[in-house]
Amino acid sequence: MARAKRRWVSQDIGSFHIISRVAGGELLFNEGDKECFLRLLERFAVGFFVEIHAFCIMSNHFHILATGLEKEARSASKEELFRRYRLIFGQDADPPVGRYDTSGRVIPDADEGVGRLRRRLGSISRFVQELKQTFSGITKNMIVSVICGGIGLKVSSCRKEKPNWPAVPILI
C-alpha cells in the first residue's frame, strides 16, 4: 500500500513529528554517536529557521518535534541569512551565490543567492536532510571520535560543550 502524500504544514497550524529509522533494524547510535548527533542537532537548529520542541535519540532511530519558521526565513535580511549559514558550516564558509551548470561553473543568481539561501534555511525538509547527511558522512568517514571525542583536532562539525536547552517535560 502506498503511503499518503506528504503535506506542508504552516507554522501557524502545527509542527512536524519527524521520525528517521535505520534500514534493517541495525543499531546506529551508541552513546558517543548520540552525543555527536545531539551536537549536530543543536548546530543545525540554530542555523536553520527551525524551532525544536522535543527530541528523542534511540539506538536505531530518532524523533524530533519541530516547527519550521518559514515566516522568519522569508523576512530575514541577507546578513542574518549569512550569519546562520556560517553557524552551520563555519565562520569561513561562503554561502553559494548561484547554481552549478553541468561543467561545474557557477551561474550566479540575480540576488547573489539570497533567495536560494532563504529557501534552504527556511525548509524543515532541508534541515532533516542536511542533519542526516552530515551525521552519515561523519560516521561513514569514521571521524566521530575526532569530532565528538575532542582529541585536539579542530573540526567544525560538533561543539564540545553540551547544548543549553531547557528541560522538556515528558507526558505519559
Residue 153 near residue 146, CB atoms below 8 Å: yes
Is residue 65 included in any domain, yes or no?
yes
Does the residue 83 lie in any domain? yes
pLDDT for position 9: 56
Domain membership flag for residue 161:
no
Hey, which residues does 107 pair with through a beta bridge?
Answer: 99
Domain assignment present for 55:
yes
Query: How many separate domains does the chain show?
Result: 1
Position 47 in a domain: yes
8 A C-beta contact, residue 78 and residue 118: no
Question: What is the structure's pLDDT at 144?
Answer: 42
Neighbour-count burial for 6-37, b at 16+ CB within 10 Å, e otherwise: eeeeebeeebbebeeeeeeeeebbeeebbbbb
Which pLDDT score, from 0 to 100, does residue 10 have? 59
pLDDT of residue 80: 95
Query: Radius of gyration over alpha carbons of the chain, in Å?
Result: 17
Residue 1's pLDDT is 64
3-state secondary structure of 103: coil
pLDDT of residue 7: 58
Reported as type and span, the H/E element at residue 108 is strand 106-108
What pLDDT score was predicted for residue 126? 92
* 74 belongs to a structural domain: yes
Other beta carbons less than 10 A from residue 155's beta carbon = 13
Q: Do the domain assignments include residue 7?
A: no
Q: 13 with 112: CB under 8 angstroms?
A: no
Query: What is the residue range of 139's domain?
Result: 16-149
The answer to whether residue 43 sits within a structural domain is: yes
> For the chain (length 172 residues), average pLDDT per consecutive 10?
61 77 75 86 92 90 90 93 91 85 88 89 91 76 44 38 45 40
The 3-state secondary structure of 9-68, one letter per residue: CCCCCCCEEEEEECHHHCCCCCHHHHHHHHHHHHHHHHHCCEEEEEEEECCCEEEEEEEE
